Structure formats: C-alpha cells, structure tokens
Amino acid sequence: MNRIEREAAARRIMERTPPSVPPELYAEVVRRGGRMLRRRTAAVRLMWLLLFAATVTFVVWALLAQPWVEPPSETTPPLTGW
C-alpha cells in the first residue's frame, strides 16, 4: 500500500457519516458575530474619544501654563530702594 492509497483510505474513513447542520446555527452565528462587531465598533469609538479628550486637555494646559516661556529669574534679588 503506497502513500497515495493510504491517504485515500484515510480520507474515505473520515468522510463517512457527515453530521447534519442544526437549523438554528445561522441565527446564533449572526447574533454572536453581530455582538462581536458592535463591541469592536464601540471599542474603536472609545479609543478615538479618549485620544480626542487627551489632545484637548493637553492643548488647554499648554495654553494656560505656556511652558515654552522662560520663567522669570529667581536668583537675582529685585532692585528696590534705588
């Protein structure tokens, strides 16, 4: 018995008695698949929302704090009584 015959015999054994597909399968698949899809969409939306909120927060903080402006010097004492 060569390799091809062996594989054909194994295929024949496996192809006996196919199971019948349950009729409610499609509805269940669409229900689960739709839920997965909705969750994925919601997660993507939440991510965008978080990104947007973080950007807005950063811009507002930057405009208020203005970290690029050199802070006034604190080592030289102010000139008073001149």
Partner 1 sequence: MGRRRAAQDARRGREFEAFVAGAAGRLLHAATLLTAEPPDDNPRARRLLTLSLAHTYACWDRLRGEDPYDRARQYLATRFSRAAWHQYGSLGALGRTRPHPDSPLARLSPQERLILVLRLYEGVAEEQAAALLGLPTERVHAICDRATATLLHPPRGPAPTVLEAKVASP
Interface contacts to partner 1, rule CB under 8 A: 1, 6-7, 9-11, 13-22, 25-26, 28-30, 32-34, 36-37, 40
Decide whether 24 or 74 has the Cβ nearer to partner 1: 24
In the complex, least distance from residue 52 CB atom to partner 1, rounded to whole angstroms: 21
> Quick one: tokens of 59?
């811009």
Amino acid at position 2, single letter:
N
Please, where are the H alpha helices in the chain?
3-15, 25-65
In the complex, least distance from residue 47 CB atom to partner 1, rounded to whole angstroms: 17
In the complex, least distance from residue 73 CB atom to partner 1, rounded to whole angstroms: 58
> Quick one: tokens of 45?
């939306």
